[in-house]
């Protein structure tokens, strides 16, 4: 595609009227003065106040900005330990002892943007540009299915070659690809902001969760780090998920890239984003919140020299505060982090991880790490099987369940069940069933030895005897060869 054609496409993407409809008196919801005032007021919070706030979180009530600011400003390590424990209690109360697992599939790294921290930025001449054909995509999906994956998040650069029609075609191809007993049952998408009309196309194809990360909520920092391209438009990105909800894509995922600006400010930005979505969409906020940290990327010196890089101890704290601030929302801990960090931080209340990840475009089939096709460098290179084994040793059962989405338990329905703390009553039986499939079809002997105990443990823990009996019958059917059974 010629440069002129690309420029003409870029001029058509942003629709100002689909920004203005969400503004209040011409302003967006990221009130920087409110954030600063909240953080500056909640200095040296009393232990009693912090414990009261934790109690509110345990009651599965979203926190207000001043309450989150108080948690962020805690300097008492004893209270931090209590917060870590409370985060895990909340996670178990809402989601049970299950960890949902998925794989990222990078489909294209063509991009018109110039984000200074990104290996895919347009002016990075050391990145090898590649976009998968439908045939190549099918082979990538086959490779993931053969390892046991049932969920994907497909990732696309912002470019006319990977517009909504290409995304729709690749989603369809992923759903159509089957290998033996295996197939992909849920495809989430991480892509550039789109118009309501384009998002309706993806809704009709069967998109799962639509992710758009604001990267940084700080206006001036955002402008400085996104100097050119469509992504330079802060407001077009900020309201991407509002448009998705209006288009009927009712599961959306927000996130911030920690290390671009002050970590406390970004946590507050995520909270304000949640509050605005809930206000506008009948109490339905983000289905998931992500909190990646900057990682090194090829020919991208900013990733090593940002003044706001977050260390491991601070990372654990910010994840914990997010868990307490929005207690009913899923939280994604990615393979950017090293295994030892993930194994520690997951205990503060995370609900989803990726595993067996390879983020080089076209690299799953090749089984190589192609760093010149990657957006950044991963910290966790464990296989899916190894990660499942480690989770089992920690007492977590890995879930491949996608029943909620196929049964229509999304958006308002899902959020209502999650806020009542009852989602695990539906999801744990399905986790047991999908875990049984994995053990039978894909697990190594070492993982079977380490993880099989979880089936009986979680089956015995189901509170309803009738559901126990039903799941036992379904397990027998799975052993006899049936697949994809769910409640």
Cα dihedral across residues 80, 81, 84, 85: positive or negative: negative
pLDDT over 80 at 420, yes or no? no
Cβ(284)–Cβ(278) under 8 Å?
Answer: yes
Task: Compute the C-alpha angle 87/288/396, nearest 5°.
Answer: 50
Q: Catalogue all structural domains in the chain, each as residue range(s) with its CATH number.
A: 3-24+96-408 (3.20.20.70), 32-90 (no CATH), 417-479 (no CATH)
Residue 415: predicted pLDDT: 74
pLDDT computed for residue 99 by the predictor: 97
8 Å CB contact between 76 and 126: no
Q: Which two tokens stand for residue 260?
A: 């671009």
Q: Chain-wide mean pLDDT for the chain?
A: 95
Q: Provide the β-strand partners of residue 186.
A: 151
Closest CA to 86 of 112, 61, 51: 51
pLDDT score for 110 = 96
User: Which structure tokens are listed for 98?
Assistant: 């299950």
Pick from 321, 415, 343: which is nearest to 86 by CA?
Answer: 321
Percentages helix, strand, coil for the chain (3-state, rounded to 5) are 50, 10, 40
> Residue 286 above 80 pLDDT?
yes
Distance of alpha carbon 485 from alpha carbon 206, whole angstroms: 20
Q: How high is the pLDDT of residue 421?
A: 67
- Tokens encoding 319: 């994840």
Strand locations in 157-231 (E)? 178-179, 182-183, 186-190, 210-211
Question: Can you give the pLDDT at residue 402?
Answer: 79
Cα separation of 414 and 405, whole Å? 9
Share of the chain above pLDDT 70, in %: 97
d(CA 154, CA 184): 12
**Residue 261 in tokens:** 């600006």
Nearest to 375 by CA among 160, 105, 151, 170: 105
Instruction: Report d(CA 225, CA 117) in Å as an integer.
Output: 8
Q: Is 211 in contact with 259 (CB distance < 8 Å)? A: no
Q: Which candidate, 326, 330, 328, 286, places its Cα nearest to that of 418?
A: 328
Count of other CB atoms within 10 angstroms of residue 46: 11
Average confidence (pLDDT) over 316-337: 98
Residues listed for the chain: 487
* Helix 312-325 vs helix 77-95: crossing angle, to nearest 10: 50
CA-derived radius of gyration, the chain: 22
Question: Residue 429: which of 349, 371, 486 has the closest Cα?
Answer: 486
Which helix (H) or strand (E) is 339 found in, with range? helix 339-345
Which residue is associated with the tokens 């983000």? Answer: 286
pLDDT band at 111; cut points 50, 70, 90: very high
Q: What mean pLDDT comes out for the span 340-352?
A: 97
pLDDT at 49: 98
CA-closest candidate to residue 53, choices 20, 87, 2: 87
Mean pLDDT of 138-164: 97
The pTM (predicted TM-score) of the whole model is: 0.95
For the cut 70, the answer to whether the pLDDT of residue 422 exceeds it is no
Query: How many helices (H) and strands (E) in the chain?
Result: 24, 11
| Helix residue spans in 209-308 (DSSP H) | 219-225, 234-238, 240-246, 263-280, 302-305
**What pLDDT digit, counting tens, does each position of 355-382 carry?**
999 999 999 988 788 888 999 999 999 9
Burial of residue 83 (number of CB atoms within 10 Å: 0-12, 13-18, 19+): buried
Query: Which of 238, 250, 248 lies closest to 278, judged by CA?
Result: 250
pLDDT value for 444:
98
Q: Using one digit for the tens of pLDDT, what is the confidence trace for 460-470?
A: 999 989 999 99
CA distances from 290 to 37, 301, 390 (A): 25, 24, 22
- Helix/strand/coil for 186: strand
């Amino acid at each position: 595609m010629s440069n002129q054609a690309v420029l003409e496409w870029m001029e058509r993407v942003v629709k100002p009227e689909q920004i203005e409809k969400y503004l209040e008196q011409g302003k967006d919801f990221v009130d920087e003065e409110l954030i600063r005032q909240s953080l500056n007021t909640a200095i040296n919070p009393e232990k009693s106040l912090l414990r009261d706030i934790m109690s509110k979180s345990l009651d599965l009530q979203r926190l207000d900005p001043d309450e989150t600011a108080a948690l962020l400003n805690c300097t008492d390590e004893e209270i931090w330990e209590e917060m870590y424990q409370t985060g895990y209690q909340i996670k178990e109360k809402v989601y049970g002892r299950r960890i949902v697992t998925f794989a990222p599939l990078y489909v294209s790294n063509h991009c018109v943007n110039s984000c200074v921290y990104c290996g895919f930025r347009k002016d990075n001449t050391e990145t090898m540009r590649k976009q998968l054909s439908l045939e190549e995509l099918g082979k990538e999906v086959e490779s993931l299915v053969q390892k046991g994956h049932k969920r994907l998040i497909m990732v696309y650069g912002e470019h006319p070659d990977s517009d909504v029609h290409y995304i729709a075609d690749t989603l369809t191809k992923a759903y159509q690809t089957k290998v033996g007993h295996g197939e992909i049952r849920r495809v989430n998408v991480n892509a550039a902001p789109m118009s309501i009309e384009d998002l309706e196309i993806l809704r009709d194809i069967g998109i799962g969760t639509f992710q758009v990360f604001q990267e940084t909520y700080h206006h001036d920092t955002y402008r400085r780090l996104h100097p050119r391209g469509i992504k330079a438009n802060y407001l077009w990105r900020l309201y991407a998920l509002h448009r998705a909800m209006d288009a009927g894509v009712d599961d959306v995922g927000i996130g911030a890239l920690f290390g671009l600006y002050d970590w406390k400010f970004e946590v507050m930005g995520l909270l304000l984003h949640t509050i605005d979505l809930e206000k506008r969409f009948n109490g339905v906020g983000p289905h998931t919140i992500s909190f990646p940290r900057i990682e090194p990327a090829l020919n991208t010196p900013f990733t090593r020299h940002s003044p706001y890089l977050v260390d491991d101890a601070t990372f654990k704290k910010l994840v914990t505060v997010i868990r307490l601030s929005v207690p009913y929302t899923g939280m994604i801990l990615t393979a950017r982090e090293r295994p030892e960090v993930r194994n520690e931080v997951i205990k503060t209340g995370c609900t989803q991880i990726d595993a067996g990840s390879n983020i080089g475009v076209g690299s799953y089939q090749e089984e190589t790490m192609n760093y010149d096709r990657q957006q950044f460098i991963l910290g966790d290179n464990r296989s899916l099987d190894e990660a499942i084994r480690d989770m089992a040793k920690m007492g977590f059962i890995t879930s491949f369940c996608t029943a909620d989405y196929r049964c229509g338990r999304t958006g308002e329905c899902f959020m209502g069940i999650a806020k009542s703390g009852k989602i695990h009553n539906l999801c744990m039986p399905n986790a047991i069933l999908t875990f049984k499939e994995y053990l039978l079809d894909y697990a190594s002997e070492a993982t079977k030895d380490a993880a099989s105990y979880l089936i009986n443990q979680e089956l015995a823990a189901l509170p309803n005897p009738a559901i126990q009996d039903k799941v036992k019958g379904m397990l027998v059917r799975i052993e006899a060869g049936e697949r994809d059974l769910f409640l």
